[in-house]
Amino acid sequence: MRYELYYWPGIQGRGEYVRLALEEAGADYTDAARTERGMAAMMRMMEARKGTPPFAPPFLKAGKLVIGQTANILLYLGSRHGLAPKPEAGRLWVHQLQLTVADLVLEIHDTHHPLGPSLYYEDQRAPAKKRSEEFWNARAPKYLGYFEGLLKGNGGSYLTGRRLSYVDLSLFQIVEGLRYAFPNRMRAFERNIPGLIGLHDRVAARPHIKVYLASDRRIAFNEEGIFRHYKELDL
Amino acid sequence: MRYELYYWPGIQGRGEYVRLALEEAGADYTDAARTERGMAAMMRMMEARKGTPPFAPPFLKAGKLVIGQTANILLYLGSRHGLAPKPEAGRLWVHQLQLTVADLVLEIHDTHHPLGPSLYYEDQRAPAKKRSEEFWNARAPKYLGYFEGLLKGNGGSYLTGRRLSYVDLSLFQIVEGLRYAFPNRMRAFERNIPGLIGLHDRVAARPHIKVYLASDRRIAFNEEGIFRHYKELDL
């Protein structure tokens, strides 16, 4: 089966967590909304009155299913492609961690959009400065310290179990994104999370991921996505 | 099996979505952190170095399992207590909607905490005013309009399928909470969501829920929770 991934063209955004899982799995998929026709199809699917119209991208068409919400898509893919444990306890645990990553992603987004997604960054620069400060003082240490602790507690190779799961891929993306958005702050912070940095490097070196990152399927970071580099937010 | 729910005592918060599901199901549970001893146990479980320590409450102890993240707990309870379809497609769809409710809950929280959860409301009054304005101009209509459309498309009784699911219970709580936090704005807005108001009333009248809401197990809304009433944010 060929999957169709639907996500805003031109940014990594939340679609990237799904792309990394599809790429690692070597799954057959198209990044459907990167053509004009695919983009129009995406809008139609969201506006459908019947069936299961998603609230927002990303969503995945898998045969007749249309699955929305990043973590929900990964829940579906994980069990099919060996990217999550099959037994219920392990499956729920990996999903729980992915939902915690989703919370972190939203807090990262809010560093540049504290007044909400409907206003431009330029209209919320001062609150964005304050929120970025709070993020690096309190939230980043709490979230990343939590994942660092789990990694250590699990032996250091993967976040859970003895094999790579989709949440390891997502944490690679978190490190990569924070390095792009906040190079100065991240440089100072990395000494606190040696385990996560190691995990990042191991994920980047995996054969499928390595090929993907060097391909034009990997969209470059930019100031339309979740991770945005604004000099004034990075000390 | 007697479940143990762990959540901050004194507020409904995110724990309430789990409580509503447990109550509707007539499940045997304790609201464990409402005693001093339970609160200490909750803190210990979060600080554990081994096993599956949750990042934050709520979490549910179910036998040997410790399950965190509200939507993940509901995913687990839904299939066990007839509060979600058993087939995969329906299960994923209800979960997807619950994750969209979770996004909405966070945006509601951010109306009074746009600069992040680590600062007091009193230190972010002006940005909170602006964010509340944006929420009611753009976000509430988008989210609630989406759920209203799904309800209509599904025949008007439930959000999905032919039976009540945990996401219907959660939408009851959204209506109830918005009425508490923003009575004026909500009074003006309700004419746009007659279906959701009807759903709210039907959930409130269900025998188990009715008994629950009248009991002292239902904590009153207050200004420590997600839904807070601040006059200056309500026009």
Contact A206, A157 (CB under 8 A): no
Query: In a 10 Å sphere around its CB, with 0-12 CB exposed, 13-18 middle and 19+ buried, how is residue B201 labelled?
Result: exposed
Rounded to 5 degrees, φ, ψ at B59 are: -140, 160
Contact A169, A216 (CB under 8 A): no
* Pairing assessment for the beta strands B29-31 and B3-6 based on DSSP bridges: parallel
Distance of CA A214 to the CA centre of its chain: 18
The beta-carbon neighbor of B69 closest among A53, A96, A107 is: A96
Q: Is B207 left (phi over 0), alpha (psi -120 to 50) or beta?
A: alpha
Quote the CA–CA distance of A218 and B4 in Å, as a whole number: 44
Three-class secondary structure of residue B58 per DSSP: coil
pLDDT in tens, A91-100: 999 999 999 9
pLDDT in tens, A67-106: 999 999 999 999 999 999 999 999 999 999 999 999 999 9
Interface test with B, best of A6, A17, A45, A55 (most B CBs within 10 A): A55
Ranges of beta strands (E only) in B43-106 are 59-62, 65-68
Give the number of A-B residue pairs with CB atoms closer than 8 Å: 112
The one-character DSSP state at A3 is E
Do B116 and A138 make contact, defined as CB atoms within 8 angstroms? yes
pLDDT at B50 exceeding the cut of 90? no
Say which CATH topology domain A88-206 has. Answer: Glutathione S-transferase Yfyf (Class Pi); Chain A, domain 2 (1.20.1050)
Residue B27: per-residue pLDDT: 98
Do A146 and B92 make contact, defined as CB atoms within 8 angstroms? no
Contact B191, B197 (CB under 8 A): no
The beta-carbon neighbor of B116 closest among A54, A93, A134 is: A134
Which of A53, A98, A100, A50 lies closest to A73, judged by CA?
A98
Residue A49: per-residue pLDDT: 82
Termini Cα distance of chain A: 47
Task: Give the residue extent of every domain in chain B.
Answer: 88-206
Do A92 and B137 make contact, defined as CB atoms within 8 angstroms? no
Mean pLDDT of chain B: 97
Which of B39, B41, B40, B43 lies closest to B11, judged by CA?
B39
Which of A84, A57, A88 lies closest to A70, judged by CA?
A57
The beta-carbon neighbor of B96 closest among A67, A138, A143 is: A67
Tokens for A98?
A: 């992915």
Question: What's chain B's Rg over C-alpha atoms?
Answer: 18
B127 contacts chain A (CB < 8 A)? yes
Contact A11, A224 (CB under 8 A): yes
The angle that helices B166-181 and B88-112 make with each other, rounded to 10 degrees, is: 10
B159 contacts chain A (CB < 8 A)? no
What number is the average pLDDT over the span B1-24? 97
What number is the average pLDDT over the span B162-166? 97
Percent with pLDDT over 70 in chain A: 100
Interface test with B, best of A47, A72, A88, A167 (most B CBs within 10 A): A72
Percent with pLDDT over 90 in chain B: 96
Quote the CA–CA distance of B189 and B135 in Å, as a whole number: 12
